[in-house]
Structures are given as C-alpha cells and as structure tokens.
Amino acid sequence: MSTARLKRKLGDLGIDTSSRKANENFCLIGTPLPPLEKSKDTGEFVPLWKQEVRDEKGRRRLHGAFTGGFSAGYFNTVGSKEGWTPSTFISSRSDRATNKNRPSRPEDFMDEEDLTGMRDDQKLVDEHEQMELLGGTQDEMSKRGEGADDKDAITLALERSLLPAPKDSVGARILKKMGWRIGQGIGPRITWRQREMAFGRDPDVPSDDVDEEAKKHVYAPRDTPLIIVERKGNFHGLGYDPGLGLHASLGVAPEASKQSSDPRLAGGFGLGALNDADDDDLDVYDHSQTHGRNRHAYDANDVHDEERVLMSSRSQGARDSGKVAQPQRPSTGQVTFRDGRQPLNGFVISEKPVAEDLRFPIPDVPKDWTPNPKLVWEREKANSKDKENAAIPPPSQTQSHAQWKTGISANQRGAVLGETPLPSAPRSIFEYISKKDQERIKNIAASRFGPPSTSDDPLPGPSLPTPPTITHTEPHIAQAALHGFQPFTTDPSKQARYTAYLHAHADPGSGAIPPAQKSGQSPEEFAKEISDYAKSAALFRPVSGAMAGRFTSAAVLDLGSKIIEGLHTPAAQPEEGADSMDVTEEKPKEEVKEEVPKVHAARLGMYGVLTREVCTWQPARLLCKRFGVKDPDLEVPVDTSGPSAQAAAPEFKGTEPADEFAGASAGAAQVEGGSSGSSKRDVANIGMGEDDGQGDGVLTYERPGMDIFKAIFASDDEESDEEKDRMDDVDEMDEPPAVSAPAVPSKPGPDVKPPPANGIVEDVDLATFKPTFIPRGSKPKDAEKKEKKNKKQKSSKGGALVSFEVDEDGGESLSLTAARQKPRDRDSERPRKKKRKDREGNGGEDMWVEKPPPDIVKALPVINLSPDEGGQVSGQESGPPRARKRAIDFM
C-alpha cells in the first residue's frame, strides 16, 4: 500500500521507479520497504492460500480440486465450467454421430502427457507377450511331443485344429486372416493328387476309401513338421549320458565282446564302398553302444532312447518299425531274487551281478621278517639323492597325478639332452652383480641371519612333487608364527608337519624340507593341507609392535611328552633340533637388544645415573600448603620458545615487531602459567579435556579489593548517618516523654529497613571507584525520590559521571556518581525532599496506615511537638533528610 503510494509520489517527481537507483536499499536496521517493482523472486513467501501449483509448462494445475468445488479439472482436462455435468442424450436424425455427441472415449479425458503415454503403449507387437510361432510355447510343444507316440498325424492335426490356439501371435493372426488354419501348411492350395503325393501315397493306386468327390477339391498344403530342438537344461558335456556307469564313462570297455559286430557309423558323410569302418568314422555320440554296459537294475534310458529314435523319424515306415521294435521284456513274474522275493513290478533283475571292486590278496609276510625302517629311510634318501642328481624322475618310479600331468619341462628335457640352456632374461638384480660381489653379499647375509647353512643343497622344488596350488608363506610371517600360537596341538602329527612347513618357509635357504605329501593323500588334500598351514601361519603369528607388549601368552598346558604318530623318522629329528637351537640362540640376543639401558644397569647393579630418571612434578598447591612447603614455582618447561623469544625481543625491538609480539605473548603465557600454578599449562590444550587447570581461573575465589566493599557498603554510613539523624529526631521528639520509651521503640520498627540505597557514596576515590549494583527499595516513593535526584544530577552539569536507570519501577539502578558535588546536591535536595514529603503528606499518599499511637503518646507529642513544629522544619532544612515520614509528619 505504502509502496504504491511512494511509487506514485516518485513518479510525480519524475523519477524512474524501475531504475536501480530508485530501488537501492540503504536500510541498515529494521525491515526495508518492499521493492518498487515486483520482483521475480520465486522464493518469495506466498501465503498458503495464494500458492498455485503449475506444471513444467507453466499451466496451472489443481484448479481448486483441493479447495473443494466443481471446477476440478476444468481447464486442462475435462468437463465443463460447472464440472462434471452429465450430458443429455440427444437423438437426431440429421445430426448423427457427429463429433459432438459421439460416445466419449478415454482419450477425451486425457491431456498431452497421458496421450503420449498411451501412444507409447500402443505398439504393433507386444514384446512382453510370449512369442508363439505356429506351435505355441515350448511347454506345449513338449506336451504335444509326449502324446505323439500314440497319436497319428491326423489325430494330431485334428487335435491341433480343435484345440483353441493358446495364444495367437501376430503372425498367426495375420495368417488366420489370410485363410490359414492350424494344422495346415502354408502356401497355395494344392490338388488332391498333389496332396497324395506329398503324403507319400501313390495317387494312381485306387483305394476304396477315397471318394471321387475328394478329388475335385483343392487342399491346403501339407503341414511341414517342425523340427523341435530339445532344450539343453543341464551342464553336461556333449555326448555325456548321466546314466552311465563308471567304466563306461571312463571309456574303458571291459565288455567289448558284447558290442555289436558292426560299428555304428557316424551320419553325414557316407563311407565309400571299399572303405572299412575306421575308428574315426564311428559315431562318438552314439549312445547305443553303451547300453549293454549298463549295470543298473533298471535303466531308464533304455526305453527312452528307443522312443526317441522312433519319434525322430516321423515317416510311416519308421513308425511301423518302431512299433515292431518294442523291446521284448521278460515277464517279471518268473524271476525272483535269490531269497525268493519278487522284484517290484516293472523292474527286471539284472543277469549280471554288479561289478565288485578288484581285490588283491595281501602278500604273505615272510616268517623271519623283522621291520627295519632304517633300510627304507636309506632307500628314500638314496632316492632323493637320485632325484637331485637326475633331473627327470625315472619313469619306473611311481608318479603322482600332478607329476604325471606336469610332465617334463622344457628345461628338464634340455638338460637331459645335454643342451646348453638358452640365455634367458636375468630374473634378479643379483645376476647383474659380479660373482665376487654376490659371494660377498651371501657371506654378509649368512653371518647376519644365523649360522651359514653347510648343506648347500638346492631347493627341493623340481625334484619333489609340487602340489598344483602351493601356497607360499613369507619368511617373516613363518618365523613369527613359529613363536606364536600352535593351532594343531591336539593333532601332534599335524602339528609336526605344520612346524616343518613353517621352518621350511621361515628360512628357505636352510634346507629344511617342507612336509611332503603323505602316502595315501591325494594332491588336492595335500594342497588343502598346505593352504591351511599358510592360513594358520598368517592367523596365529603373534601380535607385532606395540600391541605385543600388552599380552602375555597363557601358560602352556603340559600334556607330557608329545606323542608323534606314525613312523619315527630320525632323519627329521636333528634338523628340527638344529632349527630350535637356532631359535633359542636368536631369542636371547633379541632380548638383549631390546633391553633398556636402565634395566641392563639394574641387572648389573650399576645403580645411579643410569637407573635414575628425574622429571618435574607439580605438587598440588593444597598439598604444599598441607605439608608446609613453599609451592615450587616451576618454570614452564613446555614453552621452550617463549623465554628465548622474550630474551631476544629487546634486541630486535625496533626492527622486528613480530618477534616482539611473540615475546609478549610468550610472556603473557608465562604469566598465565605462573598465576595458575600449573607447570604443564600448555596453550594448545587450554580448554581441552587434558587441561588440568581448566576452570581454575574461573572457580578461584579472589577477595575483592576493599574499595568494592566500600562502594557497596558505604551507603551504610549514610544510612547510619540518616538513622542517627532520625534517631536524633526521634530523640528530639521522644526524649522528653521518657515514660513512653517502652512503647515508642516498637513504632519505628518498620523504619528499620534496608538502606535507602540512593547510591551516594561518600569519600570514595575516583580512581578506585567501581560501579556497583545497588538494590533499590521497591517503594514508589523511593523511586520517585531517586528519579528526582537523578534529574537533579543531570541538570547539574558535570556533576555525575554516568547515571542511568535500568528500569523505573524499582528494579536495579546503576549509578555512578562522584563524591565531589554530592554534599552540594544533597544540600540543594533536602529542602525539596522535605517539601515533597510535606506535599505528599498533605495529599495523604501515605503508604501505610499507622496504628494510632497509644493515648499517652498521642497526648505527649501534642504537648511537646506543637511548639517545636517550626523549629523542627528549620532544623531539618540543615540536617540530613529523613528516610521516610512518620506518623508524626502527618499530624
């Protein structure tokens, strides 16, 4: 409103209201006027009832639909202005089915978005629908296939034509519209003769059942049988038969004699008349040759396969032969199990017994034979030596599967043939180093990492059977795991193998042999075992670093001497012993290395400087007090830069203000530290949790200066002055009637009140003066008095330094006044006060109604005061003002 008026006014003045200048805002405090032109600010607040919903094209939506009313959806969508008015039925001969009164379609109620959505939905072919090509879905085809064995083509076709099409595809629908029916072939119609030929019948052969009428018609072409490819739903390889026995699947043919004499030849390319059937020509995918080898009591494949053959050829002859070729099953009734029971109906007892495992008799042990494992070990050793010597294991030796699989590497073969190895790319940096240096490094390494290994045998890698997936453990991990938790203590043999594994990996050069594959252990098992070891080595190595010190290993449960299962091999023993010796040799060395000097000194009894550590310690101040010891005023040792900077500050005072500043701050910090009395007061952690001295400064109670007390309580003097004055007055008034003494003191009881707190301080040094809050009397009279006085002070120029009232109805007032002019003020004030008092008294604005004094008192003042009235007033002129009026004043 006001903006519009302002705008008009400015327009009258000839100022362009839309210019930037006119809209400039100079408002610093308060709410600026709204801009002159309507802002385009979309974030502007609009009350709820003014808000509008618009779509992305800026059209208004929700036309009052949510506010109620009939206009819902009128503008953008549908209906009339009145809303959903029902249209009346109109019948007109002239105006038929025009656009006007045609039945409403859903499209009529749609807007653009809906229409585009609908158009998107209308597609020629719905890709979601299951495509059916002539025969329907796969399921149906298979269903049809099952029933095909006992139905001929005609019934099938009949059935097809009779049965409703499960769901027509678009193509089928088009074909149907073109006149095609299910069960017919596609193509131009053919004559009866053509049809007969197509069915493989001789049209010229007369038959009884063919009537003449049939020859006059044209027929639809013969339906082309659909080649149905069986879906492969499994993961078997091509040609694999799941029902095959062990021998059959391995391809071993123990019963070759049973095989039919003529091999089934692979289809496709035929054999020449002169060619014999070769191995290559045999149909490898032919299952029939395996039938005979099946040893199942009941072979499901048997019937199935024959039927499959039957089905695949749909020609008449094949069908007929298939019917003939139904297997002649022996009647199940006659054959029984050995115990007389009959097999289940439909099952046949196999004539051949189920193949048993081959068993060999155990060789006879000579009577005078005594076990001598040493012989075996020696032989093994010799073997291993042989292995080392010979690159290739002799073929006569039993080979594991893995060995057999890997075969001989090219290098090995080359070595056997005596070839010079091909120059390959150097694999290690050591190969670039000269021989001499290599030796030197080796020596250094050997001397550092333990005793040099005397046996310089090569890695047992090539000779030993390498498991297919050998897991490797880093030497340091293995070394650590040796000292760590032993996971297989329950299984001593496994534990022994585990430690052997660790030893082998901890020091690969030491010649410790990793556990070899056990006899009777498959390579997979061995690989798994090794990987288990690697895992547990990674898992159970002791915690390293700082964490290690926090744990102590629990006491090891001593289960007596460890029993090692299996054959005792003395060859392994010394090696392990040597290894453990190495470990024990190394261990104390490490400990010695870790030993702190002071521990070492203490052990040697060299107490003194080495074992003593001196650091600062700040005793609590109270502790010092209790002990009667002076608080050791510790220097701030943390702030090392502080004192130096401070010392340097005077030198660079002129040139480097930054240094000066640093010095100053350091000094300040030091002062702070000193005052708080804590040596560790770090500036960085002040206010943080670690700050021990937190809150010290806040909570420490310091006795304020005497001036404060003076400032606060100095009014007491005045009060006492006043009181004294008043008492004087009272004395003046009351002394003569000594009789009333007991009664009167009870009267001025209410007079004894908190000091009137007019903030006037006498004899206060300006330099030390501090403003104080003084509670004021809550009586309006006092407030008035105060106000008046303040006014007075304000008027008297230069009197008060600062004086302001916080609130007028007697809360608190802060008054800062100087002592200098106070007497004058008071002097000038007093008469006024007195006058006011009198006025008030006359006006009867007294605060309390005083009990009328006892008669005797009443009587006495009349006697005493009446002559004194004038004098009293004059006396009060010069004397200090009275705090409040008394009953006497009103009389």
Partner 1 sequence: MAPSRGPQALARTLHKTLSNHRGPVHVVRYAKGTAKYVLSGGQDRTIRLWNPDLGTEIKKFEAHGYEVLSISVSHDNTKFASSGGDRSVFVWDVTAGVTTRRLAGHMGKVNVVELNADATVLASGSYDSTVRLWDLRAPARAPIQILEEARDAVQTLHVDATTIIAGSVDGHVRTYDLRKGELRSDFVGQPVTSAVPSSDGTTLLVSTLDSHVRLFDTTSGKLLNAFTGHNHTSYRCRACFGHAEATVVCGDEDGAVWAWDLVDATVLQPNPPPKVHDKVITWTEHHPIDPGEMVTCSADGTVKVWRHSS
Polymer length in residues for the chain: 891
CA distances from 477 to 453, 504, 591 (A): 21, 12, 19
Selected binder of partner 1 within 624, 683, 712, 819 (CB under 8 A) = 624
Asked if 40 contacts 53 with a C-beta cutoff of 8 angstroms, the reply is no
Radius of gyration of the chain, Cα coordinates, nearest whole angstrom:
60
Minimum CB distance to partner 1 smaller for 269 or for 701:
701
Of the ranges 14-22, 213-221, 257-265, 615-623, which one interacts with partner 1 (CB under 8 A)? 615-623
Does position 229 bind partner 1 by CB under 8 A? Answer: no
Angle at 142 between CA 139 and CA 147, to 5 degrees: 130
Selected binder of partner 1 within 292, 465, 619, 748 (CB under 8 A) = 619
Minimum CB distance to partner 1 smaller for 444 or for 629:
629
Does position 89 bind partner 1 by CB under 8 A? Answer: no
* Contacting residues for 477 by C-beta, under 8 A, at least 6 apart: 505, 537, 538, 541
Selected binder of partner 1 within 634, 638, 686, 712 (CB under 8 A) = 634
State the minimum distance, in angstroms, from the CB of residue 553 to partner 1. 19
Does position 109 bind partner 1 by CB under 8 A? Answer: no
Selected binder of partner 1 within 324, 609, 706, 767 (CB under 8 A) = 609
Does position 623 bind partner 1 by CB under 8 A? Answer: yes
DSSP string, 34-99: PPSSPP--TTS---GGG--EE-TTS-EE--STTT-STTTTTTTTSSBTTBSPPPPP---SSS-S-T
CA distances from 42 to 48, 54, 95, 670, 724 (A): 14, 13, 51, 58, 76
State the minimum distance, in angstroms, from the CB of residue 857 to partner 1. 54
Selected binder of partner 1 within 445, 620, 671, 891 (CB under 8 A) = 620
Q: Pattern of binders to partner 1 over 554-593, x per CB under 8 A?
A: ----------------------------------------
Distance, in Å, from the CA atom of 478 to the CA atom of 512, rounded to the nearest integer, reads: 13
3-class DSSP assignment, residue 812: strand
DSSP string, 640-682: SHHHHHHHHTTTTTTT-HHHHHHHHHHHHHHHHHHHHT-TT--
Does position 429 bind partner 1 by CB under 8 A? Answer: no
State the minimum distance, in angstroms, from the CB of residue 625 to partner 1. 9
Of the ranges 278-286, 532-540, 623-631, 667-675, which one interacts with partner 1 (CB under 8 A)? 623-631
Of the ranges 216-224, 402-410, 604-612, 782-790, which one interacts with partner 1 (CB under 8 A)? 604-612
3-class DSSP assignment, residue 61: strand
The DSSP 8-state label assigned to residue 695 in this structure reads: T
Selected binder of partner 1 within 459, 599, 863, 873 (CB under 8 A) = 599
Token pair listed for 674: 């000193």
Distance, in Å, from the CA atom of 16 to the CA atom of 11, rounded to the nearest integer, reads: 7
Minimum CB distance to partner 1 smaller for 680 or for 781:
680
Q: By rule CB under 8 A, what count of residues binds partner 1?
A: 30
State the minimum distance, in angstroms, from the CB of residue 692 to partner 1. 10
Distance, in Å, from the CA atom of 499 to the CA atom of 533, rounded to the nearest integer, reads: 9
For 191, the enclosing helix (H) or strand (E) is strand 190-191
Minimum CB distance to partner 1 smaller for 252 or for 620:
620
Distance, in Å, from the CA atom of 708 to the CA atom of 706, rounded to the nearest integer, reads: 5
Amino acid in position 645: A
Token pair listed for 306: 């024959």
3-class DSSP assignment, residue 827: helix
Does position 20 bind partner 1 by CB under 8 A? Answer: no
Does position 699 bind partner 1 by CB under 8 A? Answer: no
Does position 738 bind partner 1 by CB under 8 A? Answer: no
State the minimum distance, in angstroms, from the CB of residue 616 to partner 1. 6
3-class DSSP assignment, residue 218: strand
Minimum CB distance to partner 1 smaller for 93 or for 630:
630
Does position 131 bind partner 1 by CB under 8 A? Answer: no
Selected binder of partner 1 within 627, 703, 844, 849 (CB under 8 A) = 627
Of the ranges 150-158, 422-430, 478-486, 609-617, which one interacts with partner 1 (CB under 8 A)? 609-617
State the minimum distance, in angstroms, from the CB of residue 632 to partner 1. 3
Does position 246 bind partner 1 by CB under 8 A? Answer: no
The DSSP 8-state label assigned to residue 814 in this structure reads: E
Of the ranges 275-283, 454-462, 586-594, 597-605, which one interacts with partner 1 (CB under 8 A)? 597-605
Amino acid in position 851: K
Q: 728: closest CA among 743, 748, 754?
A: 748
Sign of the CA dihedral with 413 first, then 415, 419, and 420 last = positive
Amino acid in position 330: P
Of the ranges 84-92, 338-346, 552-560, 603-611, which one interacts with partner 1 (CB under 8 A)? 603-611
Minimum CB distance to partner 1 smaller for 15 or for 610:
610
Asked if 172 contacts 134 with a C-beta cutoff of 8 angstroms, the reply is yes
Distance, in Å, from the CA atom of 329 to the CA atom of 338, rounded to the nearest integer, reads: 20
Does position 602 bind partner 1 by CB under 8 A? Answer: yes
Minimum CB distance to partner 1 smaller for 549 or for 852:
549
Does position 550 bind partner 1 by CB under 8 A? Answer: no
Does position 473 bind partner 1 by CB under 8 A? Answer: no
Selected binder of partner 1 within 435, 593, 612, 851 (CB under 8 A) = 612
Selected binder of partner 1 within 277, 344, 543, 629 (CB under 8 A) = 629
* Contacting residues for 670 by C-beta, under 8 A, at least 6 apart: 636, 639, 642, 643, 646
Distance, in Å, from the CA atom of 245 to the CA atom of 2, rounded to the nearest integer, reads: 103
Selected binder of partner 1 within 289, 290, 479, 618 (CB under 8 A) = 618
* Contacting residues for 874 by C-beta, under 8 A, at least 6 apart: none
Asked if 348 contacts 335 with a C-beta cutoff of 8 angstroms, the reply is yes
Q: Is 734 exposed, middle or buried (0-12, 13-18, 19+ CB in 10 A)?
A: buried
State the minimum distance, in angstroms, from the CB of residue 28 to partner 1. 53
Minimum CB distance to partner 1 smaller for 631 or for 682:
631
Selected binder of partner 1 within 49, 89, 360, 617 (CB under 8 A) = 617
For 375, the enclosing helix (H) or strand (E) is helix 373-389
Minimum CB distance to partner 1 smaller for 425 or for 615:
615
Does position 548 bind partner 1 by CB under 8 A? Answer: no
3-class DSSP assignment, residue 816: strand
Of the ranges 320-328, 530-538, 626-634, 741-749, which one interacts with partner 1 (CB under 8 A)? 626-634
Does position 267 bind partner 1 by CB under 8 A? Answer: no
Does position 322 bind partner 1 by CB under 8 A? Answer: no
Angle between helices 657-676 and 641-648 (to 10 degrees): 130
Q: 203: closest CA among 313, 272, 195, 582?
A: 195
Minimum CB distance to partner 1 smaller for 415 or for 634:
634
Does position 110 bind partner 1 by CB under 8 A? Answer: no
Minimum CB distance to partner 1 smaller for 305 or for 691:
691
Does position 670 bind partner 1 by CB under 8 A? Answer: no
Of the ranges 310-318, 325-333, 519-527, 606-614, which one interacts with partner 1 (CB under 8 A)? 606-614
Of the ranges 200-208, 266-274, 454-462, 607-615, which one interacts with partner 1 (CB under 8 A)? 607-615
Selected binder of partner 1 within 27, 375, 554, 614 (CB under 8 A) = 614
Q: What are phi and psi of 492, to 5 degrees?
A: -60, -35
Helix intervals (H) in 93-152: 112-121, 138-147
State the minimum distance, in angstroms, from the CB of residue 551 to partner 1. 16
Distance, in Å, from the CA atom of 840 to the CA atom of 890, rounded to the nearest integer, reads: 9
Binding site for partner 1 (CB under 8 A): 598-599, 601-603, 605, 607-609, 611-620, 622-624, 626-630, 632, 634, 679
